[in-house]
Structure 1
C-alpha cells in the first residue's frame, strides 16, 4: 500500500490549463523495442527502427504549481503511433506530493506514485573544461557539467510499506548543480509542445491524450549519469516467472506483474542515453486530457 492521499480532492488544481514553473531535464534514450512494447497498451503501434524506440525520462523541479513546490520523475517507455500523430508514453511517474500523485492518477490518467527525492551535492570528478567546451557552453551547446565543481546527486525512491530494497523503485541521477549568480548562458528561449498519451490504469481506464505547452530557455547538456540503487535482476527471468503463474494465485500473479513492470521501467532508465536537454526559466501549461476511447 502506498502513501497516497486517495481521499484528498484536487480542488487545489482548479480549472485547466494547469500552470507549472521551474527547471527540468529531458533525456532521450535508445530503448529496446521488446522492453517498450511490454509497457505500452496494445492499442498502439510502437515507433521503432532497428529494434529500438526513443524513450528516456523527464526530471523536473517545480517551484510553483497547483500542488505547490514538488519534484517529478517521468519514465518514458517509448514513442507510440496513433494516426495522425505520435506521442510519448509514460510507464511510471514519481512525485513527492500526495496531491500531485492523486491528480495525476485521477485526472490525467498517469501511473503516478509517491516517492522520496533525496538530494545532495557531489564533487564533480569530470575532466577539466577545454576551450572548445567553454565556447560551446557559451552558445548553449556544450556539456554543461564540464566546468562545474559540484553536481547534484538525486536519489528517487518509491514509497511503499516496509519491504526488502529489491521491491522498491530506487535510482540515483547525477545532474548539474544549479549555481547562484551563474553567468553561464542558459540557451535560447523557445516554445514547444510535448504531446503524450495516458490512461489504461486502475484509476483511469480511459485512453487519454494531453499536451504540455512549454516556454523556456533550452540548452544541450551532458547526459545525466544514472545508477541503480538495488541489485540487478534478469528481466527475462522475471517475464518467464510472470507467465508461469498459476491462475489460482491471482493476487500473487498481479504482484509479480507489477514487479516485472517496475523492473522494465528501471531498464528504460538504465538504457543508452543519446541526448539531454536542460529547460530553465520554464513555464509549462498542461491542457485538460481528451478521452480518445473508453
Structure 2
C-alpha cells in the first residue's frame, strides 16, 4: 500500500511540531472484532487469540503550535503494513478549533471538538503493607491512611449547541507527579497510520516521538 506524505499547514509551519505538557498513556486489550470496525480494509490487524492492542492517550498541552489545549486519542488497535506495525486512532477529541482543523486536514485524524472538564477531590489513600502489597495490584487495600488527590477528567463531544458525554477518566495524584521519578529519561516513537476520512481521503503515515 502506498503511503502519501502529509501536506504542511501554514498555521503550524513546517514539522516537526513540538508539544509540551503532561500526558497519560494507557494500553489495554481490545477485541479484534470491535477494532476492525474502525480500521480500513487495506490494513491487516495485528491480533492474537481474538484481541489486538489498543488504549488511549490523554494529554494536556501548555505549549504547542495551537496554544494551550487538551487532547484524548482513543487507539482502536495495531495494524500491520510491512515492514512496520502502527497504531490506528479511532477517535481524537480536542478542545481547540485550530488543533481540530490541523488534525483533520494535515494529519488525517478523525478529530472532533470536545469539552474537557477537570475536578480534583481528596479520597482516602490505601496504606501499603510490605507483606501484602501485591494485593494493591488487584485493587485490594489493607487499611486506610492519609488522603490523596483524585483528578476526574470528563470529556464531552460538542456537536453544534449540543454535547455528548464520551468518558470519565480518574487519575490518582501519584500518577500525575513526575518530579520525584528517579528513573532514566525515556524516549519512544509511536509510528501511526491515519487518513481515510471525509476530511482527508489519503492514507498517511506519521510518527509521534515522546520524551519524558
TM-score relative to the length of structure 1: 0.61
**Counterpart secondary structure, 2:33:** helix
Displacement of 1:186: 5.6
Instruction: Output one character per residue of 1:202-223: Cα deviation in whole Å (capped at 9) or x when no partner.
Output: 010000000012221xxxxxxx
* Partner Cα separation in structure 1 for residue 172 and residue 165 of structure 2: 23
Provide structure 2 residue ranges, at least 5 long, that are not aligned to the other structure.
1-8, 134-138, 140-144
The within-5 A match list for 1:51-90 is 51-90=50-89
Closer, same or farther: CA 127–202 of 1 in aligned 2, 3 Å = same
Task: Please say if residues 117 and 154 of structure 1, whose CA atoms lie closer than 8 Å, have aligned partners that are also in contact.
Answer: yes
Task: Please say if residues 186 and 211 of structure 2, whose CA atoms lie closer than 8 Å, have aligned partners that are also in contact.
Answer: yes
Task: Please say if residues 148 and 176 of structure 1, whose CA atoms lie closer than 8 Å, have aligned partners that are also in contact.
Answer: no
* Partner Cα separation in structure 2 for residue 39 and residue 181 of structure 1: 34
Displacement of 1:193: 0.7
Displacement of 1:43: 0.6
Q: How many equivalent pairs are there?
A: 195
Which one has the bigger helix percentage? 1
Displacement of 1:192: 1.1
TM-score relative to the length of structure 2: 0.83
Task: Confirm whether residue 185 of structure 1 aligns to residue 155 of structure 2.
Answer: no
The within-5 A match list for 1:8-19 is 10-19=9-18
Let me know the Cα RMSD of the aligned residues.
2.7
**Counterpart secondary structure, 1:102:** helix
Which one has the bigger strand percentage? 2
* Partner Cα separation in structure 2 for residue 46 and residue 124 of structure 1: 41
Displacement of 1:180: 10
* Partner Cα separation in structure 1 for residue 147 and residue 44 of structure 2: 42
Match of 2:4 in 1: none
Match of 1:207 in 2: 203
Provide structure 1 residue ranges, at least 5 long, that are not aligned to the other structure.
1-9, 135-142, 217-294
**Counterpart secondary structure, 1:79:** strand
Q: Greater relative contact order (Cα 8 A, min sep 6): structure 1 or 2?
A: 1
Closer, same or farther: CA 169–206 of 1 in aligned 2, 3 Å = farther
Task: Please say if residues 121 and 151 of structure 1, whose CA atoms lie closer than 8 Å, have aligned partners that are also in contact.
Answer: yes
Match of 1:30 in 2: 29
The within-5 A match list for 1:15-164 is 15-131=14-130, 149-163=148-162
Task: Please say if residues 148 and 172 of structure 2, whose CA atoms lie closer than 8 Å, have aligned partners that are also in contact.
Answer: no
Displacement of 1:127: 2.0
